[in-house]
Amino acid sequence: MFRVLLLAVAYLFMTFPAVIQSKEPQTVLLVSMDGMPWNLISGKFADTPNLDRVAKKGVKAKYIKTVVPGKTWPTHQSMLTGLYPENHGIVSNKFWDSVYKETFILEYDCTNFDPKFYNESEPIWLTLQRSTANKGRSGVYFWPGFGGYKEMPSFYRKPICKLNCSAVDPKELPNLRKKTRKTWPPYEHCYPDFFNETEAYPKRVDRVIGWLKSDDPPRFVALYIDAPDWKGHSDGALSQAYKDSIEEVDRDAVGYLLDQLEKESLDDKVNVIFVSDHNMVNTSSERVILLDEYIDPSTYTLTESGPVGHMWPNEGMLDEIYKNLTQPNTPEHLTVYKEQDIPEEYHWKRNRRIPPIYLDPDVGWVVTKSNATLRPGHWVKGNHGWPPQKAKSYSILFAQGPAFKVGYEIEPFSIIDLYPMMCDLLGLEPRPNNGSMAIVKKMYKEDESPTAGQRSVVTCSLGALLPLAVFFPVFLGSF
């Protein structure tokens, strides 16, 4: 009951931006490039002439602030709902649901395609399809979590499932996950289409352009590019491979998309917004916190590890574990929170999927149970997931199209603010959300005011940025 009250209070604090639907609904194409770093592009490390092309023709921000945790699934769900993870319920890439008594695992797992894990929020593509006032078609070329809804987008690429997930008893999933493979990932239930390596970036763009050219085109499209994340994990944040991958995505996804939009005369009809979900930070086998050195491994379950730790103590063990982790031998480089003490500015504490104990390692450090739980052979050199305000792990923002100013640099805002703006462009009444139009509306051509209003009700004060300029060597590949 207490949790229900907390959620109700949290809900009251959400903003309900009023949309003035005074203009014709427009078309929005949202492109996310996984792991595209805001601070290593435009010649600072990698050359990205095509993103720079968008900056000249439209709007750019130095960066935009992302949500806690700096992981792929929660961040992408926030982009499409305008909600903090504590409100949309996808609180990490992996989490335990204490009511379902099941672990959600991103990507390859049947739980990723199970609607009950996604029922706390509705993505914008689904709202568009269900709208009575401004109903429209939508297209999704793989987007983290899009397969978790019973209704599908009007246009989409279907995940390839090797199991009939709906026929699998959830109790069998832990056993199925133990089936090992020689390569990453260690098990396979379903593969989103991007694992079909024949689907090169230009091919993905061609599909989206095909949707936009069809007789009854989508008005909202979400296109996900699963790079340069992979190379950042495997080779590190300042590696040649990561640089090459950034430049390849800029050329074959961004550049090719811009060329095709121009060729098909769609560039003055489609508002294109380029974003990403996080940076990459180097880690090292020298910077691992082993919980076994402090507490009995049989007294808890660790459902998420690495840059964040989700700890579920056995019944009656919470206080003892907390005590042993905080006094007298507190592990260095680790902050330990009881659920109720998690900082408010994380917006990551009011959901039944938030663990009773949250482990928050210093940036560049990772936490796990013991050496035995490290997966030999799967060490990588870069990772992400620490609170973005600590790791300076933010999103890029480049946008162009009929709604946007030309050659305009906007101050940093929060990635959840894109949601009310996209609803506004689509002529949709936004669902309750945590976003604000106060800053993003400055991107609009018709907004000439030098200072738009203040953010309403919920601000995105993500805390002071810690000065962190050091990149460290890594660990555990996950988006």
**What residues line the site for Zn ion (CB under 5 A)?**
34, 72, 229, 277, 479
Minimum separation from the CB atom of position 72 to Zn ion (A): 3
Residue nearer to Zn ion on the CB measure, 58 or 74:
74
Tell me the C-alpha distance between 176 and 156, whole Å: 28
Least Å distance, CB 294 to Zn ion, is 30
Q: Which is nearer to Zn ion, 229 or 267 (CB)?
A: 229
Q: Which of 384/390 has CB closer to Zn ion?
A: 384
Instruction: Provide the minimum distance between the beta carbon of 393 and Zn ion in the complex, in angstroms, as a whole number.
Output: 10
What is the residue type of 398?
A: F
Q: How far is the CB of 233 from Zn ion (least distance, A)?
A: 9
What does the buried/exposed string (b/e) look like for 446-460 if buried means 16 or more CB atoms within 10 Å of the residue's CB?
A: eeeeeeeeebeebeb
State which residue, 34 or 102, has the beta carbon closest to Zn ion.
34
In the complex with Zn ion, the residue whose CB is nearer, 37 or 364, is 37
Nearer to Zn ion, 231 or 350 (CB): 231
Would you mind telling me the total number of residues written for the chain in this entry? 479
Cα 124 to Cα 79, 195, 411: the distances in Å are 9, 25, 24
Cα angle 187-147-114, degrees, rounded to a multiple of 5 = 70
Any bridge partners for residue 357, and if so which? 311, 338
- The residue (of 233 and 287) whose beta carbon lies closer to Zn ion is 233
Least CB distance to Zn ion at residue 241 (A) = 16
For the bound state, the minimum distance from the C-beta of residue 32 to Zn ion, rounded and expressed in Å, comes to 9
Q: How far is the CB of 478 from Zn ion (least distance, A)?
A: 9
| Burial of residue 60, with CB atoms counted within 10 A of its CB: 0-12 exposed, 13-18 middle, 19 or more buried | buried
Of 106 and 311, nearer to Zn ion (C-beta) is 106
Q: Which residue is nearest to Zn ion (CB)?
A: 72
Instruction: Judge contact between 68 and 344, C-beta under 8 A.
Output: no
Distance in Å, CB of 108 to Zn ion, minimum:
15
Q: Which C-beta is closer to Zn ion: that of 413 or that of 479?
A: 479
Min dist. Cβ of residue 206 to Zn ion (A): 24
Question: In terms of DSSP bridges, do strands 382-383 and 281-282 run parallel, antiparallel, or are they unpaired?
Answer: antiparallel
